[in-house]
Chains A and B, each alone.
Chain A
Amino acid sequence: MTKARLGVLAACLATTAIVLTLGWAWHTSRMPATYAVTDMGRPDYGGGPRDAGHHGSSAGHAGTSPGRSEVVSVRDLVEARSTPADVTVDLVAAKQRFRLASGRTVDGYTLNGSSPGPLIEARQGDLVEVRVRNESVPDGITLHWHGVDVPNAEDGVAGVTQDAVGEGEEHTYRFVADDAGTYWYHSHQVSHRQVVRGLFGALVVHPTRHSLGEGDVLAVTHQYGGVRTLNGREGDVPVVAPPGRRVRVRVVNTDNAAVHVWSGGDFRVLAVDGTEVTGPTPVQQRYLTLAAGGRADLEVRVPRDGSAARVQVERSTALLVGPRGSSAAPAPRPPGELDLLGYGSRGDLGFDPARADRRFDYRIGRRPGFVAGRPGVWWSINGRLWPDVPMYVVEKGDVVVMRIENGSGEAHPMHLHGHHAVVLSRNGVAASGAPWWVDSLHVRNGETFEVALVADNPGVWMDHCHNLQHARDGLVAHLMYAGVSTPYRVGGEARNEPE
C-alpha cells in the first residue's frame, strides 16, 4: 500500500514538475495586449557607458515628463516642418483584386491601383513629401522607406515610430533624400502579408541632373503567388536602348528570400543598397546574390550586333535591354558567385571601426520554446526567444561594431533601419574590396559577419530579419539611442502589428 502511494506521489510530483516548467515558459512568453518595444528584452550596452536608465516608453509626451528633460520623443525626430517640399507624391492604398502588368490577376494590395506602386523619383537633396491615404486596407498600413536613412519619425514602423494608418485615414511622410541611390518603400504594418501581396514600390534618388531614361532602368523583382515578376511583368521583359549604350539596371529585391542575378555578358556592379561601389570591375561568368530587401545597380552594355543585353533575375525572369524587337540568347546561371567582400577598390570608410565605442553580438539560433504563448521551434537571438531579445543601446556619435552570427540552420537577410553599416569581415576574412555598405545583408547559415556603423541618426530602429515571416516569428531586435523614447505601442487601439 505504502509503495503504491509513493508511486502515486512520485507520479504527481513528476507531472507537476513538467507542467510547472512548461506552464512557466508559456506564461512568461505571453505578451500583453499592448506594449512598447522599448520595454521589451534586455538592454545591451555593448561595453559602452550606460545611460541614466531611462530607456522605456512614456504614456504621454516624453519630452515634457518632469525630471526627464533630456528625453526626446520619436515623434519629434522629424525634418524641419517649414521647408517646402521639392517632390510631392499622393498615394492611395487599397486591398483589392488587381491586374499585374503581365495581365495576371492577383488578390492583394495596391498603391494607386497597381503593384508595384508608383516609382517615386527625386534628386539628391530634395525634400520628399509623400501623402498616403488608406482607402480599404482593413488592418491599416504604414510606409517604410527601405534603405533611406530618414529621421526616425518618418521610418514608418507601426507601433514604434507611428500608429498604423487605419481605413479612411491618411499620413504624410517628409524626408530629405540625402543620398543618391536605389531604394524602395513598403508597408511595415502586418508586413508579412501586405508586402508579399503587393504593398510596395520603388524609390530612386538621382544624383543631380539625372533621371530615369534610356540609360537607367528599373527591375523590381517580386513573386506574386509563386510567380516571379519584373516590374509586374513575367518572362523576358524588353527595355528599349540603342546598341552600344551603357545601361544602369536598378534591381530591387522585394521578396522574402535572396534572388540570384546574372547577365549573358559582362556586367559591373555600380551600387549596392544605395551606395556607389568604388572602382567596379567587369564581372564575367559570375552571378550576384541579392539579399531580400537589398538592391544592386548593375551596368550592362547593349551589344553592337543588334541583339539585347540580358539581365537575368532567377531562371524565370529577365530584362532584355536592346533595340526594339531585339532578342538575346538564353543565359544559364554561371557556376561561380560574385563575392562583394573583395569587389571593387578600397576606399575610405570615413571612420575608424577599430576605435569602436560599443561592440554587440547578434547571434541567430533556433530552439524550442514559446513565443507569445505559441509552442514551437523558434528563432533565437543570443540564445533567447522573442521578446527576451537584446535592446542594443547606443548614444549619438558612437562607432558601433556588430557581430552577426548565424547558426540557425537557415539564411537570414538582416535589415537595420535608419543606418547603413559597412562589412568589416566575413568568417574572419577581412573585407578587401570597395567599402561594402549595406542595409540588407544576406547572412547564410554558418556565416559570421562583422559590420560597423556610426550611430548618427537618433531614434528607435528595428534591426530585423527581412524574411518577413521570420520577423513575425520573433527575429526582431531594436537599436535604440539613449534618451529617446516612443509614445507608440504595439497592439492597442491602432492595432499596430509591425511584422
Chain B
Amino acid sequence: MFDKDYLEKIRIEKEKWEEKLKGSKERDVKFVTDSEIPIKRLYTPLDVKGDYLETVNFPGQEPFTRGVYPSMYRGKLWTMRLFSGHGTPEETNLRWKYLYENGETGFSAAVDALTFNGIDPTNPDGAPEVGTSGVPLYCIDSLFALTEDIPIDKISVALVVEPFTSAPVCAMYFNMAKMRGYDIKNLMGTTQNDILTMTVGYIPYKNSPPNHLLRVACDFIEWTVAQKNVPLWHPINFTGYNYREGGIDAIQELGFVFASACSHIDNLIERGWKADDFVGRLAFHLAAHKDFFEEIAKYRAARRIWYKLMKDKYEVKNPKNFGFRFHVQTAGSSLTAQLPMINIVRTAIQGLEANIGGCQSLHTNSYDEAICLPSEQAALVALRTQQVIADETRITNTIDPLAGSYYVEWLTDEVEERVWNYMDKIQKVGSIDKALSTGWLYKEMRDAFHKRRTRLENGEEIMIGINKYKVPYDTVTDVFRTSQKAIDTEVNRINKLKARRNNAKLEKILDKLRVVCEKEENVMPVIMEATKEGATVGEICDIYREIWGIWEPPLAI
C-alpha cells in the first residue's frame, strides 16, 4: 500500500525508535489477543501488506472488507433486535410491544427448552421448564398470540429455533401469517436453523442424528428461498455466537461458521441447485466478545473470506450474493452475576465493536444476563445502550472508520489467514455432520472449556469481580422470575387445540410425513399442511424420532 522507498525510510526510523526503548521495562503480561495472536507494541506502514483496491477497497465492493453496502449506516442504521421471550406467548407479546414502543426495530423470539427440543408440555420430563428460558411455541395458536397487534409485514421477526424444530415452528408462523391475510412472499424474517447451536452450543435432548438435522435445515432453505415460497426470508443464520459462548476463540468461531455454511451449500448443490439460487439469503450471527480490536478485525475478515468462498469455491455470479450479512450479540459469557451494573459497561463496549465492525443487526445483553432472563428494566437499558451508540456517539458519520489503522489492517489479515488454516483442519474431518458424529467438534469445545477455566483460575484472563477486585456472589439486582402459571396456560392451549382440530384428517397428514421422512424428501410441504391442521411441534418431532431415531452426542470431558 506504500511506496517502497518510503517504507525503507520508515524501517530505518523504526530501528532508531526501538533503540530508545532498550532497557525500558514492560508490564509482566502476555501481549496477545483473545485467540492468542501475539501483538507487537506498535504497528506502522511496514505491517500493512496488500493493495488497497484489492484487499480493502470501497464498501459494497469486492472483497467487501469495509462493509456489504455502499452507504452502510449513513443509509440505514443497523436493526436493533433484542432476543426476547419468557413465560407465555401473551407475556412475550407484551414485552415485544414494550420494546417496540421504546424504539426497537426488529424482533427476535427466544424460545424455551421444550420448543427447542420438540417436546410438548404434557411430557413430564420437561414440564418444569415451560417458559423458564424463553417463550413456549408449541402450536399454531401460540404464534397468533405471540404476534398479536404486531405489524409483521413491516417489521422483521427472527425465530430462534434450530433444525430439529425449525420446520414445524416456522411452518406455524407462515400459516399464521397467511391466515392473517399476509402474502408470505413478502414476509421478512430469519430462522436460526443452525445445526451447531443445538449440538455443540447446547446439547440436544432427544433430537435426531446430525445427518438428518443437516438435511432438514437444507429442506428449509430449499423450500423458502430456492423454491421461492418465502423468498425474502433468511432461512438460516449460522450462529457462531452460540458456540463462541462455550469458550472457543474468534478464529474457531469463524471456522465453525464457514465450515457449516459450506456443508449446507454442498448439500443444496447436490440437490441440483446453483449457489446463486440461495446464497444471497444465508445470514450469520456472530459474537462481540472482550477483545475490542480482534472482534472488529474478525468482522472485516469474515466479509472477505465469505466473498472469496462465494467467488472462488462456489463460482457465484450475481454480485448481490457476495455479501456477508450478520447479526451480532454481545457476549453473555463475559458478564458476571457479581456487580451486575458493570455489565452495562461491558455491553456498551461490545456493542460499539459490532457497530464499528459494520453489523446489520444487534442484540445487546441485559445487565442481569448472568442471573435470569431479562427484567423489563434491564432490557430497556440494553436497548438504550444501542440507542446511545446510534444517536449520541456520531460513530455512524463515516463508514468503517478503523480502516487504514496499521494495527487493524494487519490484524484483519492475520485473522483471515488463521481462519483459512483452521477451516482446512475441519475439512479434513469431513462435512459438518461428520465433524459432529465423530465427536471432533465436541473435543474442540471441551478443550476450549478447559482452556478458559485454566486461564480464569490462574488469572491470565481477567474478569472484574470474579478473579480481580473479587466480590462475593450475592445478587444485588432484582431477579426476574418467569410465570409459574405458564405450564397450565400451555397445557390448556394444547388441549383446546386438540379438541378443535380434525384428528382423523391430521392423522392422514402425519402418515404422509412418515413416508416423506422415510424417503428423505423435503419435509416442508407436508409440515405446512400438518401445522395448519393443528399438529403440535412435539407431534412432528416425534415422527422424526420414530423414523430417524434419537442421537446421543459423543460428549467429551
* A and B: bona fide binding partners: no
